[in-house]
Amino acid sequence: MIKSLLVANRGEIACRIFRTCRALGIATVAVYSDADAGALHVREADTAVRLPGAAPADTYLRGDLVVAAALAAGADAVHPGYGFLSENADFAAAVQDAGLRWIGPPVKAIELMASKTRAKELMAAAGVPLLAPVDPAAATAEDLPLLLKAAAGGGGRGMRIVRDLGDLPGELTAAGAEALSAFGDGEVFAEPYVERGRHVEVQVMADEHGGVWALGTRDCSLQRRHQKVIEEAPAPVLPDELRERLHEAAVAAARAVGYRGAGTVEFLVAPGGRPYFLEMNTRLQVEHPVTEEVFGLDLVALQLRIAEGEPLPAAGPPSPVGHAVEARLYAEDPARDWQPQTGALLSLRVPDEPGVRLDTGYTGGDTIGVHYDPLIAKVIARAPTRAEAVRLLARALERARIHGPVTNRDLLVRSLRHPDFVGGRPDTGFYDGHLAALTAPGDGAAARLAATAAALAEAARGVAAGGVARFGAWRNLPSRPQARRYRSEPDGSEHEITYRSGRAGLSVPDDGVRVVAAAPDRVTLETDGVTRTFHVTVHDTRAYVDTASGAYTFTVLPRFTDPADRTEPGSLLAPMPGTVVRLADGLAEGAAVTAGQPLIWLEAMKMEHRVLAPASGTLTALHAAPGLQVEVGALLAVVTESSTDPSEEQPA
């Protein structure tokens, strides 16, 4: 039996696996990079081994260092989690060659499924339906739109949608470069892109005795940049015949490669209901909790027992009960091209209520850095029906207290309450069609009321510190109005709040607003006969206001603008901390550029971001170069605007 387990991963999934290990009496070993020295998964492990460096390529992707760490710590088994080396056949082989137990499928199964092109050939031979690949060199207009995909990886890296044949060569080059950077393999293939399809997958579990379970379906259609955002089990509105067909195809796929352990077979279901095989992930999925919740199983515990040689129960899997929905809470700004955010996570509290589960790798006080995926947590809700589970999850997210970097929390709440999602009609184009509405600024009146609460709480702190007691108590005349300014984050709207402090306490001149109570951390206001309570927390220049119906973040503004804050026109600033990975071809000082032209590519938190020319003109300064690490707001280049678009200039 396994006595000590090393998790070759970090963050949320490492913490998740450790939780099961504790329940089973298995000692735990963490590995960590220098950037993760104080991370939650390190604090929760019994033993931790340092991997010198910060970049994944120097740490979590160094299989030799991870194996050495397991041996040094006395572990007798290795669990890869997901991402990093979880689907690396060479790493699985190295673990076993070192005499350690591998918590995963056979090396041969990983090899067969590692290349999506080889996997498709294998699935075709097994009778699994799939999309026929398209030779990019022979593609015609009739083949459009096309989806380019990295052969050696997933997670949205190396994926491009091509709708114009003229864009195909450039997109092939870009996809190949991204795939090479992410997976060490630049092979890219093309297949037809199915508009408004559904991403449906089947969880499989197999033992070494020939037992294979299909543990229902999951719908993972709500995605940004081909990465999942909201998942649920079972997949809604699927005909029983199609559901059974997917189960059979998934079991056939597992048997075709002699699979063992936990795996996921992913399908794309076209609008007409026809399913196509996408890929098989030879590991535990990020979204596995929704399957656990409806089946009442611990999939990690099953993985460990299978690795110890136990068979799956002969009676088969339990019957699913109810519905579960998971939302991925990211440190990112959806309204600004999903830009990842970094900084101190000051508070992370999700309501501890029946049916609500939190899987996370962070606690309040931790820091979200630049080196890894911006996933903060997964919030899961389970209920007897889908409608109840969706409602419970939206409410839990709405009431959560999340202070720190900008997150996608509001987007998640609005997505869960959108009519298309509530009606069980999710598809992979959901955010393409609805993102603008889902990220539009909220109710301005509600935000102003929250800013009013922030101002009154700040004034109450002054009272508590003795401000009114020293001066106000001796005045017979009403006090002069005080004003404070706040900027809503991340939409940028500003609010100037005026209030008075006197013998009767704090008051505001706004019609219809009555101050019921005001303390430094809690303010109660009455408007139109309705009483609302606001919980206020201040960290430096940020004020966080939490209410029963949503949360607000404000930056406390100074009375006057600092001249040093001015930025020269045409300056290209880094939108997030990251690494410059490439520049536009021929980009140099003096080059003519066009408004909207991609000039610089930044990589941050496993995602690539383009920095565009703000106007047409001449590049008069260039401070970026491939490999350069930059902080948010760093000056990358300067474009001096011209009155004539360079693309319209005629040669002399």
State pLDDT tens for residues 273-321: 889 998 899 999 999 999 999 999 999 999 999 999 999 999 999 999 9
Q: For domain 322-440, give the CATH number.
A: 3.30.470.20
Length of the chain: 652
| pLDDT score recorded for residue 142 | 85
d(CA 197, CA 95): 39
Give the number of other CB atoms < 10 A from CB of residue 478: 11
CATH 2.40.50.100 in the chain is located at 567-648
SS3 content of the chain, % helix, strand, coil (to 5): 30, 35, 35
Residue 577: asked if its preceding bond is cis (omega within 30°), the reply is no
* 340 touches 332 (CB < 8 A): yes
Q: Which fold has domain 444-557?
A: Glycoprotein, Type 4 Pilin (3.30.700)
| pLDDT score recorded for residue 473 | 44
Q: How many percent of the chain have pLDDT more than 90? A: 70
pLDDT interval class at 127 (50, 70, 90): confident
Mean pLDDT of 174-179: 82
Lowest mean pLDDT among 149-158, 184-193, 448-457, 551-560: 149-158
Q: With a cut of 70, say whether residue 566 has pLDDT above it.
A: no
| pLDDT score recorded for residue 505 | 87
d(CA 123, CA 254): 10
CATH architecture of 132-192: 2-Layer Sandwich (3.30)
* 199 touches 219 (CB < 8 A): yes
pLDDT interval class at 349 (50, 70, 90): very high
Q: Strand, coil or helix: what is 408? A: coil
CATH 3.40.50.20 in the chain is located at 4-103
Selection from 186-200, 361-375, 378-392, 458-472 with the highest mean pLDDT: 378-392
CATH 3.30.470.20 in the chain is located at 197-318, 322-440
| pLDDT score recorded for residue 471 | 38
Our CA dihedral for 338, 174, 190, 245, rounded to 10 degrees, sits at -30
* 427 touches 197 (CB < 8 A): yes
Q: With a cut of 70, say whether residue 28 has pLDDT above it.
A: yes
The tokens for 521 are 């951390």
Mean pLDDT of 216-225: 95
Lowest mean pLDDT among 124-138, 308-322, 440-454: 124-138
Residue 575: asked if its preceding bond is cis (omega within 30°), the reply is no
Q: With a cut of 80, say whether residue 511 has pLDDT above it.
A: no
* 411 touches 440 (CB < 8 A): no
Encoded amino acid at 181, one letter: S
Q: Using CB atoms within 10 A of its CB, is residue 351 exposed (0-12), middle (13-18) or buried (19+)?
A: middle
Q: Which of 106, 101, 67 is nearest to 87 (CA)?
A: 106
**Domain 4-103 -> CATH class:** alpha beta
* 356 touches 396 (CB < 8 A): yes
Q: For domain 567-648, give the CATH number.
A: 2.40.50.100
d(CA 449, CA 434): 27
d(CA 641, CA 648): 14
d(CA 629, CA 623): 11
The tokens for 639 are 């474009």
Mean pLDDT of the chain: 90
pLDDT interval class at 440 (50, 70, 90): very high
Task: Indicate the angle between helix axes 409-416 and 386-399, nearest 10 degrees.
Answer: 150
Q: How many percent of the chain have pLDDT more than 70? A: 93
| pLDDT score recorded for residue 646 | 47
| Alpha helix (H) residue ranges in 325-408 | 386-399
The tokens for 475 are 């005045």
Question: Scanning the structure block, which residue is given the tokens 């579990």?
Answer: 205
Q: Is the dihedral of CA 397, 399, 400, 406 positive or negative?
A: positive
Task: Indicate the angle between helix axes 409-416 and 430-438, nearest 10 degrees.
Answer: 110
CATH architecture of 197-318: 2-Layer Sandwich (3.30)
Residue 539 CB contacts under 8 Å (≥ 6 apart), including other chains:
346, 403
pLDDT tens-digit readout, 467-502: 543 334 444 555 678 899 999 999 899 999 999 988
CATH 3.30.700 in the chain is located at 444-557
Mean pLDDT of 394-400: 98
The reported pTM is: 0.85
CATH 3.30.1490.20 in the chain is located at 132-192
Query: What single-letter DSSP state applies at residue 36?
Result: G
Mean pLDDT of 633-640: 90
| pLDDT score recorded for residue 479 | 61
Query: What single-letter DSSP state applies at residue 169?
Result: H
